[in-house]
Amino acid sequence: MSRMFSQAAAVLAAIAGLAAQPAFAATPDEVLATIKKEAAATPGFQGFSAARGETFFKEKHGGEWSCTSCHTDNPAAPGKHAKTSKTIQPLAPSANPERFTDMTKVEKWFKRNCNDVLSRACTAQEKGDVLTYLLTVRK
């Protein structure tokens, strides 16, 4: 009887363990590799740069907002929506392991936010630079 219980407990623990695992489809490095594949198709591509990504992240691009308007100057810190003031979880993967683990989500937000900040879509080069920068940010 007690053996049955311990077996059942083991099965339950295993299920709980599975359920507790975050359903991340990819790692930030895999997401970066996907963006790199796209960028490499552009003639003259010479890789990504964290320094260029940081400048891009912190500068305005002709509009009212920069990336930092919501994500702040420190991507490892929580941000705040520029209009609604709602808290935005940190963007840097070092501070928020959920970031850049789902390619669909990554594309959705680049599309939206690039439109808000640059009034156009970002190039693969720009996205790769920004992610390369974000991956260098420590907590």
Partner 1 sequence: MLFDYRKFPRALVAALLLMCLAIPAAHAEDDDDEEEGFGFAIVTNAKWKAECGTCHVAFPPHMLPVGSWRAVMAGLEKHFGSDASLDAATSKEIGLFLETYANRRGSEPTAKPLLRITESRWFRSEHREVSSRVWSSPKVKSPANCAACHTRAEEGRFGEHDIRIPRV
> What is the binding site for partner 1 (CB under 8 A)?
81, 83-86, 108, 111-113, 115-116
DSSP assignment string, 1-14? -HHHHHHHHHHHHH
Residue closer to partner 1 by CB (options 2, 87) is: 87
Residue closer to partner 1 by CB (options 111, 139) is: 111
Least distance in Å: CB of 107 to partner 1? Answer: 10
Least distance in Å: CB of 34 to partner 1? Answer: 18
Residue closer to partner 1 by CB (options 3, 86) is: 86
Strand, helix or coil for residue 139: coil
For residue 105, what are the CA distances in angstroms to 5, 26, 99, 108, 110? Answer: 42, 11, 9, 5, 9
Structure tokens of 60?
A: 């305005």
Least distance in Å: CB of 14 to partner 1? Answer: 25
Strand, helix or coil for residue 80: strand
Least distance in Å: CB of 113 to partner 1? Answer: 8
